[in-house]
Amino acid sequence: MELTLSFNLLEAEFFYVSPKKPVSTVPLVYLTFAFDEGQVAYNLNNQAKLTRKMERIVKTILKKWQQENAVYQQALDQDLILMPDEHLDYQTALVKNLLILLKDNELPAIRLELVGSWPVFQTKDGQLDLTN
């Protein structure tokens, strides 16, 4: 069974994504998995979700992923200005790191998407000012 989860690096959380993927204003990673029937449970509304064991595995991966990418997570969280090459290098490392964690835990990821607001180029004029 295919199931898509969104990983939020800033909040260290994951959410189930419906077939209609929403647009996000925060940087998210959508991961689509091919799970066996024994790894999937259903809620009262008959919507698919992971079993508790699988949720614990995903949460462990997410926590390790956040720890190993703490420098970039902090830069994103504080809206720091980085050189364009730095953003792309961090994003490449972020994706590679996540794929390694998934492979090490034998999670069958079949698709990974970067969605939402991932900066690649930003100057001081483009910095978010939330004080106004």
pLDDT classification of 128: cutoffs 50, 70, 90: low
pLDDT classification of 132: cutoffs 50, 70, 90: low
pLDDT computed for residue 4 by the predictor: 92
Contact 33, 110 (CB under 8 A): yes
- Altogether, the residues listed in the chain come to a count of 132
pTM of the model: 0.85
Instruction: Say whether 128 sits in a helix, a strand or coil.
Output: coil
Q: How many C-beta neighbours within 10 Å does residue 11 have?
A: 14
pLDDT computed for residue 131 by the predictor: 62
Domain ranges in the chain?
A: 2-121
Percent of the residues in the chain that have a pLDDT greater than 90, as a whole number: 66
Nearest to 16 by CA among 25, 1, 77, 81: 1
Q: Residue written as tokens 């419906």?
A: 18
